[in-house]
Structure 1
Amino acid sequence: MNKYLSINNFALLSLFLVPALLLSTNNFSVVVVALIVFFSIYYLIKNRAHCDFNKYDLLITGCLGAYFFANLPITIVDGSTFRYFQGGSRLLLCIPIYLMFRKAFILRSAQAYEWLSIGIIVGSIGTLVLAIYQFFILNMPRIDGFLFSINFGYLACSLAFLALCLSIKSKYNNLLLLAFIASIISTILTITRGAIFAIPILLIFCAVLNWKKLSLKLTSTVIVGFIVLSLATYWNSDSVKQRIDYTAYEVSHIISGDIKAATSTGTRFYLWKAATEAFKQSPFIGLPYDEREALNKQLYAEGKVNEYTRDLNRGHAHSQYFEMLASNGILGIVAIIMMLVVPLVVFIQHYRKTNSLGGYTGAVFVAGFMLFCLTEAPLQANLISAFYGFMLATFFALVRIEKYNAIQQPN
């Protein structure tokens, strides 16, 4: 009994520590994920006789392992670096976490949601404190915490919507709503357009998923609060105002067909064009980094891309989708479907059938990353891929328990 209690307690503690330490510390949450990986492998070895495995488990294993295995052929062809595995290895290592969580939380699902909620509250507050310190005291034009500002923005936005979704069925609902606001402020202070523009889209997605039980008061409060917060930030922050004005300037040039004048957004179009050309050259497994660099130089000589695209290391596409298209070919498309589309479908279907909090929160969480992946390749980053894999493992495990163990959900 003590053995199982210690396993349960350690698993619950990780649900608190990972979001609590996510952005307020320098990669400490990755350390927690690494520890839980080792612990889960030990647990599975010790309890291998009792580890049943069904079709759902097989599907989840495929979701968490697809990114890694899609990179096997190109790594062999390249023969000079294991960098291709940078993101996929983190997701792969979350498979044993899932397999342990599906057992550890069978009798403690409600506690799992509670510990996760508290961790998100603490993490959101810590993130806001760090954001305020960097923006107002250090006078940084874009806060970045211990990361690049773009990655900080994505993770802060992710924390915000985890808080919002969990607030629906939590005794900490008021604190979770405050955590949502705190993380939204942190997101805005990064000036990360991909994260900021995701906010209204995810709010709409939340409403669509939950429209039958939508509270007019809550919906109005969130919408009005977001508009007021956005306008206040725009008029009181020069850096935010400049960023939004510059975005409008770029969009106007793109609409008129002058892509070169849209330095930031226009460059992404060139990068995506180069990635598409790489896919055409090797559609099955993609092109290795050195060949992508050579291709980009050739495209520049032909006047098809700009100087930034020509000189970029590894031919990076600044989009998870185009990056995997270029580096993994058709295998990359399969991996994208497995690690983003399939989880979204699994969570939405389960939510519609059972009104599951895990299904609802998991669906919004994955939808957020689907948006983030449009203009960056966040799942290549160490912290983000570890966090994404850990949260997928958590929600997959909670959904499995609800599907096969008939455990009552939080009220």
Structure 2
Amino acid sequence: MKFSLNSLVLWALFLVPALLLTTPNGSVVIIALMSLYSIYFMFKNRRTLQLNRFDKLVIASLSSYFIIYIPTTIADGTTLRYFQGGLRLLLCIPIYFLLIAVFNEIKTEQIKKTLIWGVSIGSFGAAVFAGYQSLILSMPRVDGFLYSINFGYLSTALLCLSASFSLSSPKFRILLTLSTFAALYATVSTLTRGAIFAVPVLLIFGLILSIKQLCWKTSVAVILVLAVLSVASYHFSAAVKQRIDYTIQEITSIEKGNIKEATSSGTRLFLWKAAIEAYKESPLIGLPYKEREKLNHKLHEEGKVNDYVNKLPRGHAHNQYFEMLASTGSLSFIGMFMMLIFPLIVFVKHFWRTQSCWGYIGAVFVTGFMIFGLTEVPLQANSISAFYGFMLATFFALVRNDKYNVRHNK
């Protein structure tokens, strides 16, 4: 069977979210193949390729995470691990240019329909995996083919997409509502606090952003449903109750100054403290991994961090922002802005000016990853960074085509 380029792109838009949590790196393979073809596409059309100001900013956004690690990598001289997350975002730049060309020839509703089905299948698949591991295998924290924390973040990302699409897709609202709850079940089943905490925050952000489109009755209904589900989860799920009680206990210990007694949250505070010390040691470009390990040993000897921090390889900070701060110094502020804040500004402004669903969905999606970064370094992970880069390239391309009015067949 012969496929046109448009069909292949639509298949990619469907398969990336659909395979995200239902296969081991299936989405990464699709993105890698698409990136390779996109490079060929750009080379083939290099004479007609013209960059405007928006394109240059997108390139800066998708390449910043890679670029800011170059000085540290050179200073280390022993490993390319620093580029683990940035390289995947960098490889999404050619995908962005391919999508610009293809999206101009595909109807908006077809693109939306394809993404909706991909996100829905991905959400249902995540819920099936969670149900199998939780109910059949009796796993305390489900993880699919990933680490439980990463599974939780990506489930929440699918939840964001499902819920956001429902605002502008009344024909698919029932499907999207079901897929939202499926993704929510998968998220809660991981017991990942960073992912679960993000759900109500993202819901509130989405409601505020779409305040002009939603009537007050809908907003109240959504909040009540979330409140009922939260209370029900606490009272009817022993695992959820234990996790919440444990979190409250940790917060209480931290408030009393007993940080070491807060095993999880307290350790993160120590990790962030170590990252700040690393920044102080090299505020311009940050410290290489080996130097951060030595610094952590020194801090442990001085009684400023616990045993976990002392033994942790590469001085990992368990926080996207502190990790970048420690490893790239002041360059991290450029990376944080271009990789997270800049896309959010672009999408929010586009939504406010045009009421485009792509601006709204993109804004909620990026905000989710900004929240995930508070408790882990998600954009260093293989599947997460690839998915984030691909979806950014997709939303950037859709906003770009809307912005410059190049779409002729809406």
**TM-score (norm: length of structure 2):** 0.97
Match of 2:145, SS state, is coil
Q: After superposition, give the CA deviation of every residue in 1:17-60 in whole Å (9 maximum; x if it has no partner).
A: 00000001111010000011011111111122222210000000
Distance 1:358 1:213 in 2: 15
Deviation at residue 290 of structure 1 after TM alignment:
0.5
| Aligned equivalent of 2:301 | 301
Q: Are the structure 2 counterparts of residues 103 and 406 from structure 1 closer, same or farther at C-alpha, using a change threshold of 3 Å?
A: closer
Provide runs of 4+ in structure 1 moved above 3 Å: 406-410
> In the alignment, which residue of structure 2 is the partner of 1:385?
385
Cα deviation, residue 114, structure 1: 1.3
Cα distance in 2 for residues equivalent to 1:359 and 1:106: 17
Q: Deviations over 1:261-310 (max 9, x none)?
A: 11100000000000000000001111000000000000011111111011
Cα distance per residue 1:169-199 (max 9 Å; x no partner): 2221210111111101110110000010111
Letter in 2 for 1:62: A
8 Å contact from structure 1 (residues 66, 339) kept in 2:
yes
* Matched-pair contact (CA < 8 Å) for 2:104–2:406: no
Which segment is superposed worse, 246-255 or 226-235? 226-235
Tell me what 1:138 maps to: 137
What is the CA deviation profile of residues 129-184 of structure 1, one whole-angstrom value per residue up to 9, with x for unaligned ones?
Answer: 11000111110000111111100000000100101111112221210111111101
Q: Which amino acid aligns with 1:135?
A: S
Q: What is residue 352 of structure 1 aligned with on the other side?
A: 352
Q: Tell me how far 1:406 sits from its aligned partner.
A: 5.2
1:51-85 per-residue CA deviation (whole Å, 9 max, x = no partner) reads: 22100000000000000011111111101100000
Quote the Cα distance in structure 2 between the aligned partners of 1:14 and 1:393: 13
CA-to-partner distance for each residue in 1:331-372, whole Å, 9 max, x for gaps?
112111110010000111111100011100000000000000
* Separation (CA, whole Å) in 1 of partners of 2:384 and 2:298: 33
SS of the equivalent of 2:143 reads coil
The residue number in structure 2 matching 1:125 is 124
Q: How does 1:4-403 map to 2 (within 5 A)?
A: 6-108=4-106, 109-170=108-169, 171-403=171-403
Moved more, 213-222 or 168-177: 213-222
Give, in angstroms, the shift of residue 248 of structure 1: 0.5
Q: 1:408 to 1:374 in 2, by over 3 A?
A: farther
Alignment deviations for residues 71-125 of structure 1 (CA, whole Å, 9 cap, x no partner): 1111111011000000000000000000110111013232111111110011111
Matched residue type, 1:151: N
| Number of equivalent positions | 408
Shift of 1:407: 3.6
Aligned to 2:287, the other structure's residue is in SS state coil
Please state whether the residue corresponding to 2:212 is helix, strand or coil. helix
Kept in 1: contact 2:140–2:239 (CA 8 A):
yes
RMSD between superposed Cα atoms in Å: 1.5
Give the superposition deviation at 1:260.
1.2
CA distance in 2, matches of 1:283, 1:13: 45
Structure 1 residues 221, 181: CA separation in 2 closer, same or farther (over 3 Å shift)? Answer: farther
Q: Distance in 2 between the 1:214 and 1:324 partners?
A: 38
Amino acid at match of 1:128: A
Distance 1:256 1:371 in 2: 26
Query: 1:222: how far off?
Result: 2.2
**Unaligned stretches of 5+ in structure 1?**
none
Q: Which amino acid aligns with 1:121?
A: S
Q: Is the 8 A contact 2:22 2:125 kept in 1?
A: yes
Q: 1:355 is aligned with what amino acid?
A: Q
1:404 and 2:404 equivalent? yes
Q: TM-score, normalised by structure 1?
A: 0.97
Q: Distance in 1 between the 2:408 and 2:118 partners?
A: 22
Task: Report how far residue 241 of structure 1 moved.
Answer: 1.1
Q: Percent identity?
A: 56
Say which is worse superposed, 75-84 or 223-232, in terms of deviation: 223-232
Partners of 2:153 and 2:35 lie apart in 1 by 24
Distance 2:379 2:312 in 1: 19
Shift of 1:409: 9.8
